[in-house]
A and B are shown apart, each in its own frame.
Chain A
Amino acid sequence: MDLSFYPGCTAHSTAWEFITSTRAVFDVLGHNLEEIEDWNCCGGASARALDRMVGLGLPARNLFTAQEAGRTLFAPCAGCYNNLRRALKALEEGGEEADALKKTLGREWDKPIDVWSLVEFFQRPEAMEEIRNNVKKPLEGLKVVAYYGCQLVRPPKVTDATNWENPTTLESACEAAGACAIDWSYKVDCCGADMGISHGEHAGTICSNLGVKAAEAGADAIVVSCGLCHANMDMRQGEVKLPVLYITELLGEAFQCEGRDKWWKKHVIDPSGLFK
């Protein structure tokens, strides 16, 4: 299928391996990602923390651009996804905020589109079969826990998630690649988010605990779909140091995509040992 693609600012920096592996995996699966033209930052957590309309206006500009193509807008980064969906909901509701957004940017919201993360992409009925068909090296013996954090699922009024306390889509994708996804009780807990920058020690407290719980569950690695979750868990896990993989990196390994060694080099906790 053809999807409009929103890589997000970290595509060229902290989440380079996420976006690179996403492109590689979609290539193998035979889905076309069309990067939307001249996209801008979604505002992160900061824009709306300081001003509601700026927080909605930044992602809204990308939606107005994407609606021209008429395709579903795919944003792999959970934070970008969540901000885009907040703006989407505001435009769909069509109240005062929608009017303000349309006026500010001088555009109309007349060709509604949807916004997806990897979770929605994997929820398509044929998705698991597609993965299974492309596995070259089943990841047998690799035990992982899936970690969703906040932005992929909450608040459900924004994400339209139906199983926000116990989502299982990422696990299904891991299993389809031959890995063993272990159930654990911390998959929708928070990683500390922006405290990773302003209060690193607090984020460290949270992430160390998550690392301990993942190890207790018997996992060799933690699978994520969010740049911020990855950064915090990769840098601030304390003693345990379980490798933190983007779901697309895990699939890329199963598909034996080119250039994987470059992905692993971007990690603070080296994951390459998992695949030897």
Chain B
Amino acid sequence: MNEFAKEISERSGQPISSCYQCGKCSAGCPAVQWFEWPNHGFIRKIQLGAKEELLKSHALWMCIACETCGTRCPNDIHISSIMDAMRSMAKAEKVASAEPSVMAFHTSFVDSVAKYGRVHEMSMLVNYKLKTRDFFTDVGVGMKLFFKGKIPLKPSRVAGKADIDKVMASSADKR
């Protein structure tokens, strides 16, 4: 196994070398049409050591961790765990995300948790909109929710904020 595949195997705990390219993962993936390569191709590229190409890919950020592939995989390879490990790696190595909106969403979400201990949708969504600089997509949907009283203005805070800080600092890659 190449060094990259070895590292991803270790970080994700997934047996990447067991993949025999049956394609069952690709066959059942709800997001595969938005990937550069079907899921099995993604694993193949890891086996071949195509690190840069993969860290820059859309697939890395378009996987929605539905676990359909991992659950049905004959060799118990959970691609979503592999994606998690590789996103951490991309973030640590400061590789620009091919899907800035997904990256922005995840970052806004985690920032909100880091700040309050709980997610506050309003500030998270404002933060997200600022990060993506996209102020118009889905405004209708957001307004609907707001007028339904589903997005409260005030955040709710966790008292044990010290714990949250410790968890945030426990990151393997230091945020």
Contacts and interface: CB of A to CB of B under 8 A. Distances in A.
Interface residues of B, number: 59
B156 A12 contact: yes
A16 B105 contact: no
A193 interface: yes
Interface string B131-175: 000000110010011001111100010111001101110111101
A189 to B, nearest CB: 7
Interface in A32-60: 38-41, 43-55, 57-58, 60
A194 interface: yes
A200 interface: yes
A150 B150 contact: no
Contacts of A100: 170
A55 B105 CA distance: 15
A14 interface: yes
A44 B109 contact: yes
A236 B68 CA distance: 22
A132 interface: no
Contacts, number: 168
A104 B31 contact: no
A51 B101 contact: no
A235 B148 CA distance: 12
Contacts of B119: 9-10, 41, 44
Contacts of A192: 30, 64
A115 B44 CA distance: 36
Nearest to B149: A266
Interface stretch (B1-9, B15-23, B49-57, B84-92): B84-92
A121 to B, nearest CB: 22
Interface of A: 9-10, 12-14, 16, 38-41, 43-55, 57-58, 60-61, 100, 104-106, 149-150, 154-156, 164, 188-190, 192-195, 197-200, 202, 206, 235-236, 265-268
User: 10 tightest A-B contacts by CB?
Assistant: A57-B167, A46-B109, A190-B66, A154-B67, A46-B106, A193-B64, A150-B66, A9-B119, A104-B170, A198-B101
15 contacts: A40-B117, A44-B109, A51-B172, A54-B167, A54-B171, A61-B167, A150-B66, A150-B67, A154-B67, A155-B71, A156-B71, A194-B102, A194-B105, A199-B101, A235-B141
